[in-house]
Amino acid sequence: MFFLFGLRRQAKVIGQFERTCSKCGRQTVHSAIESQRWFTLFFIPVIPFGSSYSTRCNLCGLVLKASPELKAQVSGKALAARA
Ligand SMILES: [Zn+2]
């Protein structure tokens, strides 16, 4: 009997928002990205580890690390847009 362990990172875009990019210096649309780390067993994600957040400029592709509050900000904006 043997086991195949591994780690996998899944990234997904959780929202879009506008802000001034520090590289382009323009008001551009950024994607908010949530990266979830998973412990895998036989290539199947079993246990989720911590998430990390980042933003990506849709114009120049600049990726910056973001704080976990990003998720609340993006989902809060999405709720506000729906109301
Ligand atoms: Zn940019």
Res 7: pLDDT: 92
Residue 63 contacts by C-beta under 8 Å, 6 or more apart in sequence? 54, 55, 56, 57
Residue 68 Cα to ligand 1 middle (Å): 21
Residue 28: name the closest of 57, 53, 56 by CA: 57
How many percent of the chain have pLDDT more than 90? 73
Residue 17 Cα to ligand 1 middle (Å): 13
pLDDT band with cut points at 50, 70 and 90 for residue 79: low
Q: What is the mean pLDDT of residues 47-54?
A: 92
Residue 53 Cα to ligand 1 middle (Å): 17
Residue 43 Cα to ligand 1 middle (Å): 35
Residue 47 Cα to ligand 1 middle (Å): 35
Residue 26 Cα to ligand 1 middle (Å): 7
Q: What is the pLDDT of residues 7-40, one digit of tens each?
A: 999 999 999 999 999 999 999 999 999 999 999 9
DSSP E strand boundaries for the chain: 5-20, 27-41, 44-57, 63-66
Res 73: pLDDT: 84
Per-domain residue ranges of the chain = 5-82
